[in-house]
Amino acid sequence: MATSSSHATFGSLQSSYLNKHSPFHKGTAMIFMTKFERPTRFDAIRVFSSASPVIHPVQLLSNGTSDATRKKSSESALILIRHGESSWNEKNLFTGCVDVPLTQKGVDEAIEAGKRIKNIPVDIIFSSHLIRAQMTAMLAMNQHRRKKVPVIEHNESSRAQEWSEIFSEETKKQSIPVITAWQLNERMYGELQGLNKQETAQKFGNEKVHEWRRSYDVPPPNGESLEMCAKRAVAYFKDQIEPQLMNGKNVLIAAHGNSLRSIIMYLDKLTSEQVINLELSTGIPMLYIFKDGGFIRRGSPPGPTEASVYAFSKKLAQYRQNLDNMML
């Protein structure tokens, strides 16, 4: 049954590959969900196991948790957030790798996203080089109950690294490293960047524009196809992000509609056919539990006013309890 929802409530998540003829409505909250049996409160459902990546751990600020402790933990949280509405989303322009800010609505969406993830642990944040994704990450983390400060790491030169060093171990413990990577940038939309999506469809036809926007292997003129975007985004995920999850670190990725579609295609093993129907709304976080090498999709954590389960796993329940008891 094809249904669309602005967020997944826990419990009987419905399989909802969007009907491929459904029009793409800008800003419509569409999230792909997978059907599971209704898990018990702390069930972890193995969906599939992922290939184990080559490990190139990123140099991180120390966050006061010994790696030995983390290595024992075989569960970590992965949160994916597409940036909030950007100025060019609002104008319905193809954006790609053009670096535009959030609108006020996008800022509000980022804050709302933060309220949805405020009880979920985040040890490291990955974002693209584009300000709309970085703004979303920072605004969302402002809502987090742990109140650690996200600190963008500057390794672009030895001087940048030297001049941005933190000399207090305690301050480092109260910080969350933010790693920015061009590999997580939005797919480069080539000669469509800056064009109005509706006018482009009138000029080239709805079918052609939908193919450029949603097919797997058809690139826009002098731009990247989703496949080309996946080659850099998924490779970066496997090389730099998955090792952190394997080390028990909880990860937040703030990125873009298509760089995240390519990562979700990897996480959920979608075919190039299935990914055509995958649409991500702006600013709605999606949670995965990484456990014993496999990714379990948990849908979108509910907002503070929405009824839902207390936590999505035993470990997340314990973390939230510690927050409640101000033990963190």
Ligand X SMILES: O=C(O)[C@H](O)COP(=O)(O)O
Nearer to ligand X, 96 or 299 (CB): 96
Minimum distance, C-beta of residue 270 to ligand X, in the bound complex (Å): 16
| Alpha carbon distance 232, 287 (integer Å) | 22
Judge whether 187 is annotated as a binding position. yes
Q: List beta partners, residue 93.
A: 196
Strands (E), the chain: 75-82, 124-127, 149-152, 175-180, 251-255, 286-291, 294-299
Positions in the binding site for ligand X (CB under 6 A): 94-96, 186, 189, 213, 256-258
Judge whether 213 is annotated as a binding position. yes
Amino acid at 308: S
Minimum distance, C-beta of residue 143 to ligand X, in the bound complex (Å): 23
Residue 80 CB coordination number (10 Å): 22
Nearer to ligand X, 97 or 316 (CB): 97
| Alpha carbon distance 24, 33 (integer Å) | 17
Strands laid side by side in the 251-255 sheet: 149-152, 175-180, 124-127, 251-255, 75-82, 286-291, 294-299
Judge whether 196 is annotated as a binding position. no
Per-residue tokens: 109 = 């969406």
Residue least distant from ligand X (Cβ):
95
Q: Which candidate in 83, 144, 256, 279 is catalytic?
A: 83
Judge whether 257 is annotated as a binding position. yes
Length reported for the chain? 328
Amino acid at 179: I
Nearer to ligand X, 240 or 258 (CB): 258
Judge whether 35 is annotated as a binding position. no
Nearer to ligand X, 16 or 128 (CB): 128
| Alpha carbon distance 293, 30 (integer Å) | 27
Residue 162 CB coordination number (10 Å): 9
Nearer to ligand X, 84 or 301 (CB): 84
Minimum distance, C-beta of residue 86 to ligand X, in the bound complex (Å): 7
Minimum distance, C-beta of residue 201 to ligand X, in the bound complex (Å): 11
Judge whether 84 is annotated as a binding position. yes
The CA-based angle 88-132-212, given to 5 degrees, is: 50
169 has catalytic annotation = no
Judge whether 189 is annotated as a binding position. yes
Judge whether 4 is annotated as a binding position. no
Minimum distance, C-beta of residue 96 to ligand X, in the bound complex (Å): 5
| Alpha carbon distance 14, 252 (integer Å) | 25
186 has catalytic annotation = yes
| Alpha carbon distance 179, 260 (integer Å) | 16
What three-state secondary structure class fits 173?
Answer: helix
Nearer to ligand X, 45 or 100 (CB): 100
Q: Which candidate in 109, 112, 186, 279 is catalytic?
A: 186
Minimum distance, C-beta of residue 278 to ligand X, in the bound complex (Å): 11
Sorted by sequence, the CB contacts under 8 Å of residue 263 that are 6+ apart come out as: 80, 230, 233, 234, 237, 253, 255
The binding site for substrate comprises 82-89, 95-96, 132, 186-189, 197, 213-214, 257-258
The residues carrying an active-site annotation are 83, 186
The binding site comprises 82-89, 95-96, 132, 186-189, 197, 213-214, 257-258
